[in-house]
Amino acid sequence: MKSDTTEKGDRIAKIMARAGLCSRRDAEKWIAGGRVAINGKILTTPAVVVREGDDVRVDGEPLPTADRARLWRFHKPKGLVTTHKDEKGRTTVFDVLPPDIPRVISIGRLDLTSEGLLLLTNDGSLAREMEHPSRGWVRRYRVRVHGRVNPEMFTRLKKGVTVDGVRYGPIEAKTEEKTAAGEEKGAAKSNIWLTVSLTEGKNREIRKVMEYLGLTVNRLIRVAYGPFQLGKLDAGVLEEVPRQIVMQQLGKSAPEGLNRKRNRHGEDAKPRK
């Protein structure tokens, strides 16, 4: 992956995104609209490197100091889309976050009807590092399916399968020993809970692969993304992951933004509804 960081500075769009103003894509639009200036000169292109000491202004106001890189766990309920702008006008994950949280992006996605652990960060470098395939982090789900389940049917998934021309990598799936608490009453006998683990996480991967096996997914909950767990976090609750834990899990590949001392939004936040 090509970096937009030079030995002497960073590109303006990256600087703006890091400051929490907007995404890099939106930063380019703001620049095209004449809203951004460096050292008194209105920019006409995002191909500009910001160096230490440069005076960057957006709409005439000084660029905010970049916050340190931060990570949150969010228990996404069903019915929210994981996007900043939904063309259908549906409620997004970002619409329901507390107002004092800086602009964040998601690490991976969960579709409209999926729920569970969604990691959020205010730093693009941290997001890219945690999503990168080379890290090989396992994403684990609890999945309720409707249909006839034979444990042997999951054997074929261990080497990966091709569905409608799309190749999916190895998937581990097994039935749970007991039906989830609270689901016994009124649940059809053909509703079975599975534990599913994978590393790729392609669009609607689990639903498509289960359909390939003749099963229909009627509930999907992500319970882990690599070392980060959903645990007992209630639906709709946001909780910040302490910086030392993030650094411990990422090791030497941790983005430099985690080491910034300045934090405009306070230290490790408590769970918020």
Exposed/middle/buried for residue 223 (C-beta within 10 Å: 0-12, 13-18, 19+)? middle
Among 55, 95, 111, 268, the one annotated catalytic: 111
Active site residue 111: yes
Catalytic (active-site) positions: 111
